Amino acid sequence: MAETVTQHPALTMPASAGADLLRVQGLSLAMPGADGPVTVVQELDLAVRAGETVALVGESGSGKSVTALAITRLLDDTGGRITAGRIDFTTRDGARLDLVALDDAAMRRLRGAEIGMVFQEPMTSLNPVMRVDEQIAEAIRLHRGMDDAAALAEAKRLLDRVRVADAPRQLQRFPFELSGGMRQRVMIALAISCRPRLLIADEPTTALDVTVQAQVLRLLRELQAEYGMGLLFITHDMGVVAEIADRVAVLQRGRCVEQNETAALFAAPSHAYTRMLLDAVPMLGALADEALPRSFAKDSLPQDTVTPGAAPVLEVRGIATRFPVRRGLRLRGRVHAVEQVSFAVRPGETLGLVGESGCGKSTTGRSIVRLELPDEGQVLLEGTDISRPSGADLARLHREIQVVFQDPYAALNPRLTLGYSIAEPIRTHGLAKGDAIEARVRSLLADVGLPAEFAQRYPHELSGGQRQRVCIARALASEPKLIIADEAVAALDVSIRAQVVNLLMDLQRRHRLAMLFISHDMAVVERVSHRVAVMYLGQIVEIGPRQAVMQTPQHAYTQRLLAAVPIPDPARRRALPPVAEGEVPSPMRRLEDAPIVAPLVRVGPDHFVARHSVGGLY
Amino acid sequence: MLSYLLRRLAGSLPVLLAVSIFVFGFVHALPGDPARLQAGPEASPAEIEAIRADMGLDGPIWSQYLRWAGHTVQGQLGVSTKTRQPVAQVIGERFWPTMWLTLVSMVWSTVLGVGLGVFSALRRGSAADQASMVVAISGVSFPSFWLGLLLIDLFSVQLGWLPTGGYGTWQHYVMPSFTLGIGVAAVMARFTRSAFVEVAREDFVRTARMKGLSRSVVAWKHTLRNALIPVITLTGLQFGFLLGGAIVVETVFSWPGLGRLLVDSVSFRDYPVIQAEIMLFSVEFLLINLGVDLLYAAANPEIRLS
C-alpha cells in the first residue's frame, strides 16, 4: 500500500470519513482596524482529514491567511481575535481538542509537533543571523527530546529528504546564502521535522519561479503521502489548486461561498464568484489553435494589429549589459545579466519576453530605456541608433517608449495627485498647454476606464488595479509608440489581472501600440503576444511566433518552462509532473570565463533557436 | 581581515588631516591672546613679542599650522603654556580617569538601556511600557549639570552617603557615572524598543513561534539578536556623546579628567593642550567607529561573509 502511495500520491484517496483531523465550525475572526475591530472571516466551516489536501482559495483580503493564523493561534500575536466558533483538532494520541480554548502553553506543544506550517516568503521566513542547522535542530530538540548531536543528524536527514543537494554544507549556511527554492525546502524540512499530523502551507510557491514551484509542489505531495498528513493549502492560484487539492473551499471577503471536491468544483462551479475566478484564470494552451492573441473579454476578437512588412518601431541589436562584481577594490567577475540580445518589435505588435527570475528580462527592458547602460550593442528607435544619444535623442526616447512597472504601489508618488502624475509627461514634453493639459488628463483617465474626478485623488485612495490603470494612463500621456510592460500584471489579483490585460490589448488596438510584454507568467503571455522570446541566463534561447514557440518549443529550456506551468484543470492532472530537479546556474562568472554566445539558428518561419550551450542546455 | 583593518586605518588619515586643520583654525580664532596672558598685565610690548615667538605664535598662520602638524606627527606635542609641563604628560595624567568614567558609564547605560528597551517592547502599549518610556524621555531631558547638582545636594550634603567629588574609590564613580550615563541609557532604551518592535513583526519571528518556542525564547534568541544589529551602530555614536558629556560632568564633580582639563585649557588659551586633546578625541572616535563596524560585521553574517 505504502509503495503505491509513494508512486502516485495524486491518487491517494482521503481516509475514511468521520476521521476529521481538523474541523473548523462557525469560525469568525476580527482584526484591529482604525475604527475598532473589523470582521475578516465570518462563520467559516472547514474540515481536513488525514491524508487529504484541502485548498483554501481566494483573492487578496479574502481572509485565507488569517484563517491559517487562527488555526495555529498565532493570530493572538498579530492583535487579531477569534470572536466565534471552534477549531477541533485530533492529536496523535487521539485526544480531541478545541484549539480556541487552549492557552499558549498547550498550543506550543502542538505547534511544530502536531501542526506544521510553511509560509509564503522563503526570503524572510528564516532567521537571517542563524545557521540553517540550528533553525531546524531547535524544533527537533524541543519536541522530540533529542540531544544536540541527534538533532543535527536528524536535520541533515531531513534536508536530504527534501532533496537539498549537499546537505552537510547547506546546514552550515545562513539563509541569505541560499536561493529562494532552497530556502523554501529548508522551510518545509523545518515544518515536517516533528512529523506533524497537519501541515498548513500558506502560498508556499507564490514567490517561486514556475520550475521551482513544480519541484516544491511535487515534494509536498510526496511528503504528504509518506507521512499521511492532512494538508491545508492556501493559494490564490487555481492552476496550483487543480494540481494538488482533493477538495476546495472558496473564500470571498471572509465568507466561504463554495466548498466541493476539486473535480466537481472545476467542472460545475455553483457560485458566481467561483465561476468568475475560474474564467479569469488564464489557461496555458487556451489559444493553441489560434495564431493571433485574443483578450480575456467574453466576445474578444483576434488581435490583428500588425501590418506585415511594416518597419519595426524598436530594434535591439546584440545588446549586452553586465554588472561588475567587486571584492574590495579588485574586479572579481561579472554578472552577465544580458548577453547578445537581439529582437525587433513592429507597430501594433506585442513581443512577450519570458523567463524566470534573474534571466535578464527586466534588465533588457531597462537597458532599452537607458535605466541601465548597456556595455555593447545598438538600440534603434524607428531606425535611428540611440545607443549614444544626443539630448534630442533622449527626449525622443523618453517620449516614444514608456514603461509600466510591476508594483503600482511604489510607482506613484504618494504625495502627488494622480492628475499631476499623469500630466507630468505632457508638461515635460510640451505636448499641451494650459487647460488643454487638464482635458488631456481627463481623456487619458477615460481611456483606461477611470472617472475624471480621480485626477484630484491620491494613490492611497485607490485599489491596486486602479493604480495600475493610472500608471498606464501616465505611460500613454506622452503618446508613445512602444510600451514596455515589466511584469505589469504580476502583482494583481486574477480577476483584476484579466481586466488590465484586456485594457492593454484594447489600447493596442486603438493606438497601434507596440508592446514589449515582460512576464514570467506563460499563460498571460500566450494571451497577449504575437511573438515570444524566451530568455535564459541572459540570452534569448528561442524566439518566434507565439503559436510556434508555445506549441512546438524547440529549446530544452522552453520545454522545461512550459511543462512546469500548472494547468487549472484537474482532469489533466499529471500523476507526477515531469520535473527537472536542480537549480538554474548563476549568471555570475569570473572575468576570464565568458559565456558562449552564437547566432540563433532558424528552425521555422521567423522561428529561431539557440543551438549552442546556454548553461548546459540546448 | 588584516587588509580590511589596514584599509580602514588608511582611510582615517584624511579625516584626521581635516580635523587637525579645523581644530587649529578654531583654536586660533578664539578671542584672546595667549602671549599676553602668559606675560601678565605688567609686561612691555617687547616682552610680549618675545614670549609670542617662544610659543611659536609668530609668522603667518599656515606656517604655524605646518610647524605644529609636523611636530605632532613626530609625537612632539609641545609644552603646556600654563604649567610648562610637556603636553603628553599633562594629558597622560588625565587620560585614564576619563576613560574609566566613560567606560563604566557606557557599560551600565547600554545594559540598562537595552534591557529596558526589550522589556518595553515585550509589553508594548501596557502601563509598564509607557512608564518606562516616560522615564526614558526624562532621562534625555535632564540637563546633566543640573541633575549632578541635585544628586550632590541629596546624597552628599543631606544624606552624606557619597563624596561630593574627586576621584579614587568606587563611591566616587556613582554620581558622575549616573549623571553621564542616564541620557545614553534613555536613548538606548527608546532605540532598542523601536528596533525590537520592528523585528518582532518579521516573518521569521512568526516561523520561530510556529516551531512551538515560548515567547521569551523567541524574544531573546531570535528577535533580540536581529534587533541588536542597528543598536550596535548607535553604541558608537553614544560613545562620542559620552566623551563630550564628560566635559560638563567632570566640572560638576571635580573629576580630574580630560574634560575638566579642556575647560581649564580653553579659559587659559593653552593652545598646545587644547589642540592635542581634541586630536586625541578624534583618534578615539575613529577607533571606536572602527570597532563598531567590526562588531557590526560580527553580528551580521551577511556583512561578514561578503
The conformation of residue A203, written as its DSSP 8-state character, comes to S
Mean pLDDT of B67-94: 83
Q: Which residue has the cell 578671542?
A: B31
Mean pLDDT of A293-314: 87
Residues 161-220 of A with CB under 8 A from B: 174, 176-177, 187, 190-191
Q: Does A430 contact B at CB distance below 8 Å?
A: no
Mean pLDDT of B66-92: 83
* Cβ-based neighbour number of residue A59 at 10 Å: 18
Chain B residues inside the 8 Å CB shell of A116: 210
Dump pLDDT digits (tens) for A346-380. Answer: 999 999 999 988 888 999 999 999 999 999 999 99
Q: Name every residue whose Cβ is closer than 8 Å to that of residue A538 and which is 6 or more positions away in sequence.
A: A336, A337, A338, A339, A341, A359, A360, A587, A595
Chain B residues inside the 8 Å CB shell of A143: 212
A567 part of a folded domain: yes
Rg of chain B's alpha carbons, rounded to an integer? Answer: 24
Chain A residue at shortest CA distance from B223: A127
* Domain boundaries, position A574: 314-610
The structure's pTM equals 0.79
Q: B211 and A142: CB-CB below 8 Å? A: yes
Let me know: does A292 contact A304? Beta carbons within 8 Å. Answer: yes
Indicate the SS3 state at residue A39: strand
Phi and psi at residue A315, to the nearest 5°: -135, 130
* Cβ-based neighbour number of residue A286 at 10 Å: 14
From A188-197, A221-230, A398-407, B171-180, the region with the lowest mean pLDDT: B171-180
**Of residues A52, A480, A474, the one with CA closest to residue A227:** A52
Q: Which residue stretches of A538-616 are H helix?
A: 546-551, 556-564
DSSP track, B89-143: HHHHHHHHHHHHHHHHHHHHHHHHHHHHHHHHHHTTTSHHHHHHHHHHHHHHHS-
Phi and psi at residue A365, to the nearest 5°: -60, -45
Are A353 and A481 within one domain?
yes
Q: Nearest-CA distance from A117 to chain B in Å?
A: 7
Instruction: Report the residue from B203, B215, B226 with minimal CB separation from A125.
Output: B203
Dump pLDDT digits (tens) for A489-508. Answer: 888 888 888 889 999 999 99
The interface predicted TM-score of the complex, written ipTM, equals 0.77
Would you say residue A37 has pLDDT above 70? yes
Q: B212 and A138: CB-CB below 8 Å? A: no
Mean pLDDT of A313-338: 85
A92: CATH: 3.40.50.300
Chain B residue at shortest CA distance from A175: B302
Distance CA A127, CA B199 (A): 10
Are A339 and A251 within one domain?
no
Long-range pairs, A328-334, Cβ under 8 A, ≥24: A328/B3, A328/B4, A328/B7, A331/A591, A332/A590, A332/A591, A333/A588, A333/A589, A333/A590, A333/A591, A333/A593, A334/A588, A334/A589, A334/A591
Are A246 and A347 within one domain?
no
Q: Which of A249, A272, A295 is the last residue of a domain?
A: A272
Are A333 and A243 within one domain?
no
Are A336 and A250 within one domain?
no
Query: What average pLDDT does chain A have?
Result: 87
What total number of domains does chain A contain? 2
Let me know: does A613 contact A553? Beta carbons within 8 Å. Answer: no
Burial of B305 (0-12, 13-18, 19+ CB in 10 A): exposed
**What pLDDT is attached to residue A582?**
65
A14 part of a folded domain: no
Let me know: does A377 contact A314? Beta carbons within 8 Å. Answer: no
Let me know: does A66 contact A42? Beta carbons within 8 Å. Answer: no
Suggest the residue from B199, B206, B210, B224 to mutate for an interface test with chain A (most A CBs closer than 10 A): B210
Are A245 and A344 within one domain?
no
Q: Does A276 contact B at CB distance below 8 Å?
A: no
Q: Return the number of CB contacts < 8 Å for A and B.
A: 76
Q: A119 and B206: CB-CB below 8 Å? A: yes
Residue A548, C-alpha cell as written in the block:
510556434
Q: Which of A243, A272, A301 is the last residue of a domain?
A: A272
Would you say residue A576 has pLDDT above 70? no
The conformation of residue B257, written as its DSSP 8-state character, comes to S
Residue A6, C-alpha cell as written in the block:
509513494
Dump pLDDT digits (tens) for B166-216. Answer: 777 887 887 888 888 888 888 899 999 999 999 998 999 999 999 999 988
Residue A378, C-alpha cell as written in the block:
545598438
| Crossing angle (nearest 10°) for helices B271-299 and B258-267 | 150
Residue A85, C-alpha cell as written in the block:
466558533
Chain A residue at shortest CA distance from B304: A129
**Of residues A12, A43, A49, the one with CA closest to residue A30:** A43
Chain A residue at shortest CA distance from B4: A328
Residue A488, C-alpha cell as written in the block:
505589469
Band (B156; pLDDT cuts 50, 70, 90): confident
Are A265 and A332 within one domain?
no
A244 part of a folded domain: yes
A422 part of a folded domain: yes
Q: Nearest-CA distance from B249 to chain A in Å?
A: 39
CA angle A415, A419, A425 (to 5 degrees): 95
A9 part of a folded domain: no
A10 part of a folded domain: no
A138 part of a folded domain: no
Let me know: does A74 contact A252? Beta carbons within 8 Å. Answer: no
- Select the more confidently predicted residue: A546 or B41: A546
Chain A residue at shortest CA distance from B218: A127
Would you say residue A189 has pLDDT above 70? yes
At CB < 8 Å, which residues of chain B contact A?
3-4, 7, 202-204, 206-215, 222, 225-226, 229, 299-302, 305
Suggest the residue from B211, B213, B218, B229 to mutate for an interface test with chain A (most A CBs closer than 10 A): B211
Query: What average pLDDT does chain B have?
Result: 84
A152 part of a folded domain: no
